[in-house]
Amino acid sequence: MTVENFLNGDITLHPYSGPTLFLQALIGMFFSMFFGISHLPVLTLFMACVVFYIFGIILVEFLNLKFTNAVLAGLLFFLNPLFIYEIWGFMTNHYFLVFFLLSFYFLLKYQRDSTVSYLILYVVLAFFALLIRQVVMALPLSVAIFYTIEFLKNRENRTTIRLAFLNLLVFLAFYAFYKFIFPLTPRMTEVPLQFHHLADFDYSFALIYGTLIVLSAYTLPLIFNILDFGKLRESFNSETKVQILTAFLLFFIASGVLYSSANKLFKPEEISWGEFPYFENVVERTGFFPRGIHGTKYYFAGSFDLWKYWDIAGKITLVLAVVYILRFKLANNIFSSFIGTYLMAMVVTETYYDRYILLLVPVLILYLISISGEFRRVTKFLLLIFIIFLGFLNYLFSADFLLVNEYVWNRSEELVQQTGAEPSQVLGTNAWKMTFRNRNRDYLYNFSYDNQEVNEDYRNNYTLVETKRIEYPVNIFVEPNIYLYKLNYEQH
């Protein structure tokens, strides 16, 4: 809708726009002038490929990964379900990630070469990212924190404190631009930062711990790669079997205590769902954005076991990684600094969605590789298996999501043309509802996942018009039906 406004000469954001979005809308406008607005998903796919390329360059150039290993790590990011979902539309993350990763790239180049032009490019590209999503302000703030810690470790190095001060100024300049110069939408002004969340331990812990569990689940092979139990033996100067056994026993006791304590304190219902993957919006237990259509969506075969054991695996690997890092790998790191800063920023947001996690995925991958180095043979094997699993899960979710939305949108248009109903009288996809708002919610036609056996309202007050079965190869969803209902005349 914002791109349409730009094409018509109105360069203002939609009132409901939460992200700054301006640069993305400009890119979309220029693309649409040549290829049409309906082809914007093609542009998004292109931007996703650019993200993959930039990420690969960072892996090879700064983390010294071999090409094949960089491809595997890049695919782990590219095939993340949060990443794949946003390919199918015009959402902000892929456009934002292009400038965010480019900014990070030149920051790393500056750290390595101390060339001022790289520092300037880092700031300029971060500003471009600010024109898509305001959350990029966490980047200069995290860099300021990183260099402050470096200065505290070595007070003789004055360069670090100057860089800390410079990045703090960049953060303040970005904030001032956003607050006083950028044309804020009503949505932006209505959702200020919620600093009271910091005083709510249950909320803050649920958000941070839940996010780390999800991140751990999405990067399982790389977390295994950092665990080098040979170092555990060396750290205790273990020579006899009793000493070796004691060293491992202490490690796993500490891990067990942390696991038990963390999960006892964890109250995911404070944020959203009480079940993995915890956070609402994009990736839920029944697929991509299931609440875009009314009703309770059908599940896929094996889904309950998958989410249960994936959750357990994420928690166990997270705890093992934390204990191991605290013992062997704890150090000031530009990647961990950003992760910590970003998580604290998310605590004070008004509403937390799972799509906010996506930005942390590439940074976490960079962090894990930075403290572990090249992949072991078993890591490559686990990565390959995990990537195949993610590929199938994305195929399953994407095919279902696209076919459901295509059917409901096209059928909604047919209803408007054939029956003379107003578009706002059709309860269709989320995009349809956002385009044709019905504030009174007096819908005549409803699309729903619910059949009349489970939904009393549809059984008593509606007539079933048709049932659409969603079919595609290797579809393992159980009873994948969409129902179209018409409100009975006497109820209308």
φ, ψ of residue 354 in degrees (nearest 5): -65, -25
pLDDT at 270: 87
More confident residue, 241 or 103: 103
Q: What is the 3-class SS of the chain, one letter each residue?
A: CHHHHHHCCCCCCCCCCCCCCHHHHHHHHHHHHHHCHHHHHHHHHHHHHHHHHHHHHHHHHHCCCCHHHHHHHHHHHHCCHHHHHHHHCCCCHHHHHHHHHHHHHHHHHHHHHCCHHHHHHHHHHHHHHHCCCHHHHHHHHHHHHHHHHHHHHCCCCHHHHHHHHHHHHHHHHHHHHHHHHCCCCHHHHHCCCCHHHHHCHHHHHHHHHHHHHHHHHHCHHHHHHHCCHHHHHHHCCCCCHHHHHHHHHHHHHHHHHHHHHHHHHCCHHHCCCCCCCCCCCCEECCEECHHHCECCCCCECCHHHHHHHHHHHHHHHHHHHHHHHHHHHCCCCHHHHHHHHHHHHHHCCCCCCHHHHHHHHHHHHHHHHHCCCCCCHHHHHHHHHHHHHHHHHHHHHHHHHHHHHHHHHHHHHHHHHHHCCCHHHEECCHHHHHHCCCCCCCCCEEEECCCCCCCHHHHHHEEEEEEEECCCCCCCECCCEEEEEEECHHHC
Angle at alpha carbon of residue 276, lines to 273 and 278, rounded to 5°: 35
pLDDT at 233: 63
What's the whole-number average pLDDT of the chain? 92
Rounded to two decimals, the pTM is 0.94
In this prediction, residues 306-318 reach a mean pLDDT of: 97
Which of 17-21, 63-67, 90-94, 149-153 has the lowest average pLDDT? Answer: 17-21
pLDDT at 471: 96
In this prediction, residues 437-463 reach a mean pLDDT of: 93
pLDDT at 240: 66
Residue 446 reports pLDDT greater than 60: yes
User: Is 255 within 8 Å of 286 (Cβ atoms)?
Assistant: no
What's the pLDDT band for 232 if we cut at 50, 70, 90? low
In this prediction, residues 157-177 reach a mean pLDDT of: 96
Amino acid at 167: N
User: Is 32 within 8 Å of 3 (Cβ atoms)?
Assistant: yes
Token digits of residue 73? 């790590």
In this prediction, residues 78-96 reach a mean pLDDT of: 94
In this prediction, residues 53-76 reach a mean pLDDT of: 96
| Torsion angle in degrees (nearest 10) through CA of 393, 353, 94, 83 | -10
What's the pLDDT band for 332 if we cut at 50, 70, 90? confident
* Residue 275 buriedness (CB in 10 A; 0-12 / 13-18 / 19+): middle
End-to-end Cα, the chain, rounded Å: 31
What's the pLDDT band for 238 if we cut at 50, 70, 90? low
pLDDT tens digit string along 219-228?
999 999 998 7
In this prediction, residues 147-155 reach a mean pLDDT of: 92
Residue 247 reports pLDDT greater than 80: no
What's the pLDDT band for 377 if we cut at 50, 70, 90? very high
Residue 235 reports pLDDT greater than 80: no
pLDDT at 228: 79
pLDDT at 170: 98
Angle at alpha carbon of residue 118, lines to 116 and 122, rounded to 5°: 120
Which of 182-196, 258-272, 384-398 has the lowest average pLDDT? Answer: 182-196
d(CA 223, CA 311): 15
φ, ψ of residue 482 in degrees (nearest 5): -115, 135
User: Is 52 within 8 Å of 76 (Cβ atoms)?
Assistant: no
Residue 492 reports pLDDT greater than 60: no
